[in-house]
Amino acid sequence: MTRNIPFYLVVLCIVSLMQEFGFSHLTLFKVSFDAVTIFLAFIAITTNQKTSMSFGFAAGVLAGLLTGNMGLQMLARTVGSFVASFFQTPKESHATIKQKSRRFYGAVIAAGLCTNAILAVGENPLGLSLAYRLVVFGLLESLFNIILALILNRLFLRKSLVN
């Protein structure tokens, strides 16, 4: 796994830039999917908890640099990666690809809900109530994330989850 870390760091930078300058403009009800959370969920289930949290912290630094909200992004991404790492399947596991895919989807939902909950408490650009932000932004973005995760898993990630 350690030989993949530089590659994953490059992918994280690319996904962060694509999120900030592309995907964040594709909105429905002012909510867009979060490709960084999906990538962090993938890292969380394919690596250990320490590596996952390190990637979450790095993603928070990148997101903070791009959005101007460094501390909150670092906290949200690190906690999201921590929660997603509980869905990790050990290397010696005999889990099927279907079971590993379900764990990936669970990690995407859990990481998205935790990240959005922290961001909803910390920032309020539209002046909306906390309950509204948690329900609409958290659940709707999690729904968008799971749809994107299904597509990515079918097209690209199944081979990576087998290893």
Domain boundaries, the chain: 2-162
Closest to 135 (Cα-Cα) out of 41, 43, 29: 29
* pTM for the full predicted model: 0.86
pLDDT along the chain (163 residues), means of 10: 81 90 78 87 90 93 87 92 90 79 89 87 75 79 85 74 59
Pick among 1.10.1760.20, 1.10.760.10, 2.40.50.140, 2.30.30.40: CATH of 2-162 = 1.10.1760.20
Compute how many other C-beta atoms are within 10 angstroms of the C-beta atom of residue 74.
19
Q: How many angstroms separate the CA atoms of 108 and 143, rounded?
A: 10
Residues 6 or more apart in contact with residue 109 via CB below 8 angstroms: 142, 145, 146
> What are the percentages of helix, strand and coil residues in the chain, rounded to 5?
80, 0, 20
